[in-house]
Structure 1
């Protein structure tokens, strides 16, 4: 008898330890929907301490959760799964009906899948955005080509050159989308190699600005840069240029016509800070953290649904791979859009005689 009691106590202790080690919220109910067992995760979720003997709906304040249990009893499935929302979080709920010696118990497991739901939604938005980004330039190219083929007379040279320039711009748009997808894929798979060398920052910034000249000229936007000569950083030329190009691309997209974008730097003994400032609407304070997430877009209705939502995520990956930090400054702290990132500072090059 004593041995049986010892074995039972051991089993209870083992089950309690296992349940409290689980990330999921776990509960066991009797036939009257009263809680007879609960783990720490469930107590924290519903902010109740040892609510043994209380009804499920009283403990959880969730009629939806009780409805899941009722459905499990109704269908008598071995495991019944449903997704519900509790306190603005998405949970996958698994209910299992257990029969033991004429008694009926219901086991409940709740897993927070809010991040997964948000990621799936972001991926759907990303697919829609990329489809739009790819379809738009392809359609425009087709229209331009058709207009050339259907001219009543031979197209004039001036018109032909203009049409070819338009095709070139649309082709650049396609290449931009494809490059963003390739960049993120390589970075996240670990295939992107960071070649850390000492770099002169001024010609690097100048190179990035030159690459964005065509895009900025379409909106009559002037890009200026204020970078001291001989300011050197540790980094990979191509990757850091990609960061600056992406940030300039973002600034151009949000800037009004005829405005100005400024690239400036400041430095301490250990690091260099780069700022890209535009005269657009800026980033709201509640979005400064999420704006660097993959596929995330700031109010697509205002941006016309343009962009893949990958550019800033790529910037974050690259800067952090260099040991730096990147952030957006909220509207309450600055006028217009302002993005900042840091790089390790290298020693200035000296001339030896």
Structure 2
């Protein structure tokens, strides 16, 4: 009898628990159905798909001012920090648009750490959306600002560099006029005018060269080039200057190293490197020029025992118009554009350039250029034959 009673009680409890659990699951199911059917009441249908397809970073904010949707691009730019914005300026603009229900533009800057290069210049359009929502479309204009800054800096530098020889020519021309009855003075001033004119022509040509190589377009024409031919051409051009300073040029060129590209451009780059090595070296020293193969690259190394540079200077050495020794550059006719031209030429050929230097000990410039595809293919085929034969 006791066993039967216990069984009845247990059964009743089981039925009650079953009914309660059923009611709970049904309630949860209804709640889930409501959420799935209408997650964002008032938003247009297909909003997630639209945000994903937009080229701009997109964010949707609800009536409480919290982020409820954001595209991958918005997270990539660091615009969103949980339910809030990373930019107080953008947050304030969103609040105004939510209150007034009118469109606004805003330009702002996001900086994620102390590094100046982490700054991003952004532009956002903020508009009311649906019932109480706000839509933000944001574009990254960092590259535009960088290019504009470079352009302004370049124009300012060019103006300054042109002003010096033009001003000198003007003054010298006045002097020639004033001393027109003195043949010796006219001859002396005429020589200086010729020197400044040559400097001006050289500067203009370097500006033209830089403008031609710094674009993002590929080479107009490309051929397989013997690296030794390029280097020897540069050495021949620099030999007279080196001999006038009693500088010994130590040359060690590995044979049969070929790259693809423009002979004229590569010759210009190597010539600039060798000329710099000679110009910045003291008399009775040595300049080394060597080539070798490193994997699938050709390495060109130019070493001098000149004045050298500090790490601060090497960080800026490839900037336009930057000079380590301004007085020496003026005396040698340097424009400060040579190494910038070299950098762009090497990059245009798919290569890299790096520099090691120490004050008082000299500098070493190393250029790495991709080996010609044909030579890489032959090496690959030879390796396959060795493996197959083995």
Shared fold by TM > 0.5?
yes
Task: Report deviation, 1:110.
Answer: 3.0
Task: Report deviation, 1:313.
Answer: 4.1
Q: Deviations over 1:237-274 (max 9, x none)?
A: 43232102333455578x48769572410323976532
Task: Report deviation, 1:27.
Answer: 1.5
**2-structure distance, mates of 1:301, 1:76:** 57
In terms of fraction of residues, the more helix-rich structure is 2
Q: Check whether the contact 1:184–1:314 (CA below 8 A) recurs between aligned residues.
A: yes
CA pair 238-171 structure 1, distance change in 2 beyond 3 A: farther
CA pair 131-75 structure 1, distance change in 2 beyond 3 A: farther
The structure, 1 or 2, with the larger RCO (C-alpha pairs under 8 Å, 6+ apart) is: 1
Q: Residue in 2 aligned with 1:90?
A: 120
**1-structure distance, mates of 2:100, 2:326:** 48
Q: Residue in 2 aligned with 1:350?
A: none
Q: Which runs of 5+ in 1 are unaligned?
A: 348-353
- Residue 267 of structure 1 pairs with residue 295 of structure 2: no
2:229 corresponds to which of 200, 205, 220: 200
RMSD, aligned CA: 4.5
Q: Check whether the contact 1:99–1:105 (CA below 8 A) recurs between aligned residues.
A: yes
**2-structure distance, mates of 1:309, 1:154:** 37
Q: Deviations over 1:24-51 (max 9, x none)?
A: 43211234322222223333444978x3
Q: Check whether the contact 1:263–1:276 (CA below 8 A) recurs between aligned residues.
A: yes
2:60 corresponds to which of 4, 21, 28: 28
**1-structure distance, mates of 2:358, 2:45:** 54
Q: Deviations over 1:199-228 (max 9, x none)?
A: 5356313233158x3xx89xx966542224
CA pair 230-276 structure 1, distance change in 2 beyond 3 A: closer
Task: Report deviation, 1:126.
Answer: 0.6
Secondary structure in 2 matching 1:282:
coil
**2-structure distance, mates of 1:37, 1:83:** 21
Secondary structure in 1 matching 2:309:
coil
Q: Which runs of 5+ in 2 are unaligned?
A: 1-33, 113-117, 376-390
Q: Residue in 2 aligned with 1:163?
A: 189
CA pair 201-340 structure 1, distance change in 2 beyond 3 A: same
Q: Deviations over 1:139-190 (max 9, x none)?
A: 111222221211274131xx54443433333223222232223224444355
2:365 corresponds to which of 326, 339, 343: 339
Q: Deviations over 1:294-331 (max 9, x none)?
A: x6565x797589987753343234335555x3312245
Normalised by the length of structure 1, the TM-score is 0.69
**2-structure distance, mates of 1:248, 1:152:** 42
CA pair 47-118 structure 1, distance change in 2 beyond 3 A: closer
CA pair 21-327 structure 1, distance change in 2 beyond 3 A: farther
Q: Residue in 2 aligned with 1:117?
A: 145
Number of aligned residues: 321
Larger radius of gyration: 2
CA pair 248-144 structure 1, distance change in 2 beyond 3 A: farther
**2-structure distance, mates of 1:38, 1:248:** 54
**1-structure distance, mates of 2:266, 2:183:** 43
- Residue 38 of structure 1 pairs with residue 70 of structure 2: yes
**2-structure distance, mates of 1:301, 1:123:** 22
Secondary structure in 2 matching 1:41:
helix
